[in-house]
Structure 1
Amino acid sequence: MRRKITAGLILRKDGRYQRNELIGDKRRTFTAKDPAKVWADIQKAQEEYEEQERQRIITRDSGPLFSVVSDEYQAIVEKMKEGTRRSYMPNIRRAREALGEYRMREIQPYMIAEFLRSPVFEGCSASTVSNQKTVINNIYQFWIDSPKWRGDCNPAVQTRMPRGLPRSKRPPPTEEQVQIVKDHYLDPDALLPVAYLCTGERRGEMLGIQLKDIDFKKRVIHIYKSVEHINNAPHMRDYTKTPAGIRKVPLLSMLAEALEPIRHLPPDTYIIGLDTKPITLKKYETMWQRFWRKYGVGEEVVHTKRVYRRGRSEVVKYSTWRVPVCGHQFRHEYVCMLAMAGVPEEIAIQLVGHANAKMIHEVYMALKPQMLEDARKRLDALL
């Protein structure tokens, strides 16, 4: 015998049908004027609960989606230093596009390895691919450390880097470029390259040096802060790129002589820009180009752009100056100078602000002609 559709429902005084139903471990009330809708709502709620339970079991067994974890990790990266954000964000985006649809425990080392060998990284250097692998490792470590998820595996640790990737080192400046700085170190326009040559600082740390940070009597420069540019605007940070970046470096005689004309300025004066506030990125680039252009290094590049004048569109020409050497290359030169001067490695890594010697060996150290010549003389003497 067919059961009435109203069976099991309560007809309320307002003419609506009602039923209390246990969905999972919660009792819920369903009401509607149409009894069929009450039963439909109950069935829908039951199906939703069963789907939630199924997803909960999947999540428990396979973990959350990689895209969900990477989104939360990205929120943390967005609060980091500008340089870190600029480096990490593209890597997070690429990892999410490649692995986002998988759950954390579903991703295996071979999947990460295939991603690192994919056309996305065609022509990229080993350092670029290594940075991508580091970001995937960081996302997994974030999942493991999170009290919310308490992850328990990290396939990035088991993933090997692809073989045969090009390994490029940024070369130190040429002997001719170094000689130009040495020959003109008393030129006021040369203060920026001279400071690079004599300290080996990173750009941000260089632009953060003030006169008060220099002990002219003890011949020491205190490095403990840096300037970070967001777009063009400078922002002073009370930290360096790494904890090892907080250090003392010797004040070399060449730089001391170059600084002599400005020693009378207020202690808060930044040695680059000669103002009590750090310079903008645009001004930094102008200062760098001005020195090298002055001594015939670089080339003029002509550009065109469209402008509107008096209601008409016109194409105008303008020039910029392309310089074939950057300030960071003098950091490489500084490491070579430390090696040529016989400074012990454990001292050298502290002077350049690295936690270990790996960066000196793999990145900064270059075999200069003078080093080869010194080696030849020593070997000849030994023989």
Structure 2
Amino acid sequence: MAGKGTLQKRGPNSWKLTAACGLDAEKKQIRKTKTITVEQTCELKSCKGCPKMKRCKARGEAEKQLALFVDEIEKGTFIEPTKLTLADFVERWLRDYGETNLAPKTLHRYKGILTRVLQAMGHIKIEKIRPTHLLEFYANLQEDGIREDGKEGKLSEKTILYHHRVISSILNDAVQWQVIPFNPASRVKPPKVPKHQATCYDEEKVAALLTALEEENFKYRVIVTLAIATGLRRGELMGLEWQDIDFDKSTLEVRQASQYLPGKGTFTKEPKNETSKRIISVPASVVALLKQYKVYQAQERLKVGELWQGSERLFTTWDGRPMHPDTISKWFPKFLAKTIIHKPCNKVIGNVTHCPHCEKPVKKEELIKLPPLPFHGLRHTSATLLVGQGIHAKVISERLGHSNISTTMNIYSHFIRRADVEAADKLEELFTTKVDQK
């Protein structure tokens, strides 16, 4: 149990706090100390013999701090000053927590973010980091020329917010490990990120896309079709093996994902979260396509012979190794850029004046050009198609493998509202018809 404690003046507004904390194993007195700075100033070197000591505002402020100091010790919440810099703690955090608890890709992203953070604040003692340090750092990230990829402009709000979340997560662990008393990042308002509507295709664009796929490599055709039909993430698609497809029940099981990291190559990992492990139903036409694709892959495997690497993945390289996840992401935008559909014959044509299929003059209003869409946009497309069909958000959330339904509602709120308006319009048609009949 701590005593009342003592004060020692160290400077005009600096004081040393001391509290006795019992005896150690050798019966010696244990003392804890803390140096503080108060707002009030007193130029005297010592309080000894000062007639104004009881009325001194500087000493009064120091006495309040001493009482709080003693109270912290008695409650066991006092954390002794540390010489650890932020860089020292981050090194320990990565070793004791990050390396064993973070997914490889997350750890890779954290290390990339922390390189920039430590360049700015790594030298500061972790207990001395204040909200103002973070605010200055975030302001610096918004300056032109800060990007490491050589591109002009500042970092996006989303990237700055990610910096904040990484810093806050690590400092929160520092609090839990009793290295610092509070998390300064919790006292900083994170950067606001504008909410963007999910990028996706409507039914007409999906129909055009499926038409265009008929003339493409069978493997890519299956990947894109399966992405639309299931809403799987890219890594989940690349992680699929034939044992995950149940042709009798028309279902697909997600139990692993494929990722790539520089220096590590392509590797297999657990899905994003526990709810990402799921079994979902697949449309009958897509199951039929998968059956055709399995036969196609077996034929390609026979052509390779002994060079086949033995992978059971659905999507592989020419010699059977797991397909690089970036391959489809690089191929997809190139495929979209060259795709032009002629509506009258529903065929893919190039930049021509006469359609080679129906031999009719090509009119601009009869063309469907597929706008740019990232491959991940097919996942959003799958979800919005289901919204348009009136499927409950809970079912959509489970198919997508979201951790909770609120994630689904937040991402697709615009499309859900639009579907709600369409539902009201249909009801209005019903009511109007009833009134007209009267």
Q: TM-score range by the shorter chain?
A: 0.5 to 0.7
Identical-pair percentage: 19
Which is further off, 247-256 or 260-269? 260-269
SS of 2:316's partner is: coil
Report deviation, 1:379: 5.7
Q: Distance in 2 between matches of 1:208 and 1:182?
A: 23
Opposite residue 313 of structure 2, the aligned amino acid is: Y
- Structure 2 residues without counterparts, runs of 5 or longer: 1-78, 144-153, 299-309, 342-370, 433-438
**SS in structure 1 opposite 2:81?**
helix
The answer (yes or no) to whether the contact 2:387–2:416 under 8 Å persists in 1 is no
Give the match's secondary structure for 1:221.
strand
1:279 equivalent to 2:323? Answer yes
Q: Does 1:173 align with 2:201?
A: yes
Equivalent residue in structure 1 for 2:140, among 119, 144, 166: 119
Choose the corresponding residue for 2:270, options 236, 239, 260. Answer: 239
Deviates more, 1:258-267 or 1:188-197: 258-267
In 2, Cα distance between equivalents of 1:223 and 1:191: 17
How far apart, CA to CA, are the structure 2 residues paired with 1:190 and 1:100?
49
Question: 1:223–1:246: 8 Å Cα contact kept in structure 2?
Answer: yes
CA–CA separation in structure 2 for the residues paired with 1:233 and 1:330 = 27
SS of equivalent residue, structure 1 residue 61: coil
Letter in 1 for 2:181: D
Paired with 1:100 and 1:191, the residues of 2 have a C-alpha distance of: 48
Q: Could you tell me which residue of structure 2 aligns to residue 156 of structure 1? A: 185
Q: Does 1:87 align with 2:109?
A: yes
Distance 2:401 2:221 in 1: 24
2: CA distance between counterparts of 1:162 and 1:369?
A: 27
Cα distance in structure 1, aligned partners of 2:250 and 2:293: 16
Counterpart for residue 330 of structure 1 = 378
Find the counterpart in structure 2 of residue 292 from structure 1.
336
Q: Counterpart of 2:409 in 1: which secondary structure?
A: helix
Distance 2:412 2:287 in 1: 25
* C-alpha distance in structure 1 between counterparts of 2:285 and 2:336, whole Å: 19
Any idea what SS the aligned residue of 1:105 has? helix
Contact 1:331-1:364 at 8 Å conserved across structures: no
Report the alpha carbon displacement of residue 345 of structure 1 after superposing the two structures with TM.
2.4
User: Aligned residue for 2:17?
Assistant: none
Residue from 208, 221, 224 that aligns with 1:190:
221
Counterpart amino acid of residue 226 in structure 1: A
2:115 is equivalent to residue 71 of structure 1: no
SS at the partner of 1:136? helix
Mark the CA change 1:65 to 1:231 in structure 2 (over 3 Å): closer, same or farther: closer
In 1, Cα distance between the equivalents of 2:329 and 2:397? 28
Amino acid at match of 2:141: V
Could you give the per-residue CA deviations for residues 345-377 of structure 1, whole angstroms, max 9, x where no partner exists? 233222111212343233355539973772452
CA 1:290–1:100 in structure 2 vs 1: closer, same or farther (change >3 Å)?
closer
Pairing 1:144–2:144 present: no
**Cα distance, 1:110 vs. partner?**
4.1
Letter in 2 for 1:292: L
Alignment partner, residue 306 of structure 2: none
TM-score (normalizing by structure 1): 0.65
Comparing 332-341 with 97-106, greater Cα deviation is found at 97-106
How far apart are 1:174 and its partner, in Å?
5.5
Q: Deviations over 1:80-112 (max 9, x none)?
A: 434213422232123223332332232233432
How far apart are the structure 1 equivalents of 2:107 and 2:270? 16
Could you tell me which runs of 5 or more consecutive residues in structure 1 were left unpaired when the two chains were aligned: 1-58, 298-322
Equivalent residues of 1:170, 1:363 under 8 A apart: yes
- Aligned partner of 2:126 among 90, 101, 104: 104
How many residue pairs get aligned? The number is: 297
Change in Cα spacing, 1:336 to 1:365, as seen in structure 2 (3 Å) is: farther
- 1:63 Cα deviation from its structure 2 partner: 5.9
Secondary structure at 1:218's aligned position in 2? coil
Q: Aligned in 2, Cα 1:84/1:282: closer, same or farther, shift over 3 Å?
A: closer
Amino acid at match of 1:181: L
Amino acid at match of 2:164: K
1:61 is aligned to 81
Q: Distance in 2 between matches of 1:94 and 1:217?
A: 52
Distance 1:226 1:271 in 2: 12
Structure 2 CA distance for aligned equivalents of residues 233 and 348 of structure 1: 34
The Cα of 1:240 is off from its aligned counterpart by 1.0
1:145-196 CA distance string (max 9 Å, x none): 44xx644321222322245x43334411365542223335655242121111
Partner-residue secondary structure (3-state), 2:113: helix
Contact kept, 8 Å, 1:227 with 1:234, in 2: the verdict is no
Match of 1:52 in 2: none
